[in-house]
Amino acid sequence: MSMRFKAIQRILGALVGLSSLFSLPALALALAFDEHTAQAFLDSFLAAAAIGFVLWWPVRRVHYELRLRDGFFITTGAWVLASLVAALPFTLAPPYLSYVDAVFEAVSGLTTTGATTIVGLDALPRSVLFYRQSLNFYGGMGIVVLAVAIMPMLKVGGTQLFRAESSGPTKDSKLTPRIAETAKALWMIYLGLNLACALAYWGAGMTPFDAVSHAMSTVATAGFSTHDASFGHWDSAMVDTIAIVFMMIGGVNFGLHFVAWRRATVAPYQHDTELKSYAFILGGVTLAVTLTVWLGGTFDGLASSFRHAAFQTVSNMTTTGFTNTGFPEWPSFAPLLLIMVAFIGGSSGSTSGGMKVARVVMALRQGLREVRQLVHPKGQFLVKMGGRRVSESIVLSVGGFCTLYVLCFLAVMLALAGTGVDLVTAFAAAATCINNLGPGLGDVAVHFGDLSDTAVWICSFAMILGRLEVFTVLVLLTPSFWRE
């Protein structure tokens, strides 16, 4: 094995070892609540730690200067291995899932998708529920960004990893001079938002356990809940409003939160083009859905229609995936619009999935430029974002990304249809997995438990593909990547 792959093995071994720590908070909770699940979490911790140790120990002294392309392999490998390890408690403790379903559950948690194969959440032990919610928390800011904060201890520069992990078209912009400092700063903001969200939920009437659990999946725009009915369990306008606010915050570029927090000013928000587009799209879709459900007589009165439409629109566009009623049964085009808006997703640099607002706006402006060019062949038209010209290389890169993203979605949809599911289910499952959304339409409107094992594996792959924004995974499928 080459030095390069030994160096990669050393990092992946360390990351698997770190992933074993996922089980410890749930183990502590199981012991505190005297639940029989403690042994399952202990076994999961020991198994994952052992696997990590076996990978790391033989190559612990290897030193090799990693390149950017190695960052792609490590990023993808970290997500895959962490998911395989994180699946263990779901097989050893209630609900005793098959390993295929357990991997799906773990991938869904870590990629902040929020889709589930479990029915009967309310009956599960609290330690299992907490473990499931905590996967959303870890995945929200990205396992690899967490690792970047720890990478200096492994004597590996984190820049390659951060570039492969962070979402959006402007990956190279650092917030602080050192990448580890950036990761730590982002985590501090993330933790602060989680704390504020938990306190707000508690004040609105949730139990402390539910408040903490749902804060972990709200700020991460992830969508796991401790109840089968999700937010319909409370049916509270106040709880819905708090969720809307924190889902919207989670869908905003964390770089903006960082700059605003450091300078103690809201100016960064006021001058951000992507944020304005994000708010505009949210407002437009909310209005369309409100009118549809109101005129369709789904809810009593305009106020109730607006509340449910706003909650579901924000939930779907930020790819959180919470529900407070069964939106697939809503009238007219509302369910399809709510699935489609997840393709846009939140802002780049946020915890949301989807293609990201900046890319969609840029692709739209490029399309409009081509139309103008047809009318005025000799005219010079520029694509601008925030009043500044966008370089042609970024415009081409965004166009390529959007094309590949849609092709990947179509490939996943066709693969799912090939396993025998109906077309509505195949479309919704592919859209909800690649966009990291959660709830779908058809047979996956509530859960994915009825799909075949093959379909579940395809969905698990699609969630990682979407979470790592297709390029990071697809680059590994090119022969040139594997040549030294």
Strand partners, 385: 388
- Residues 6 or more apart whose CB falls under 8 angstroms from that of 273 comprise 361, 385, 386, 387
- Residues 6 or more apart whose CB falls under 8 angstroms from that of 326 comprise 445, 446
- Note whether 340 and 133 are within 8 A (CB): no
Residues of the binding site for K(+): 112-113, 319-320, 436-437
> What distance in Å separates the CA atoms of residue 77 and residue 71, rounded to the nearest whole number?
10
Q: Residue 297's Cα: distance from chain center in Å?
A: 33
* 419 burial level (CB within 10 Å; 0-12, 13-18, 19+): middle
> What distance in Å separates the CA atoms of residue 306 and residue 288, rounded to the nearest whole number?
10
Residues of the binding site: 112-113, 319-320, 436-437
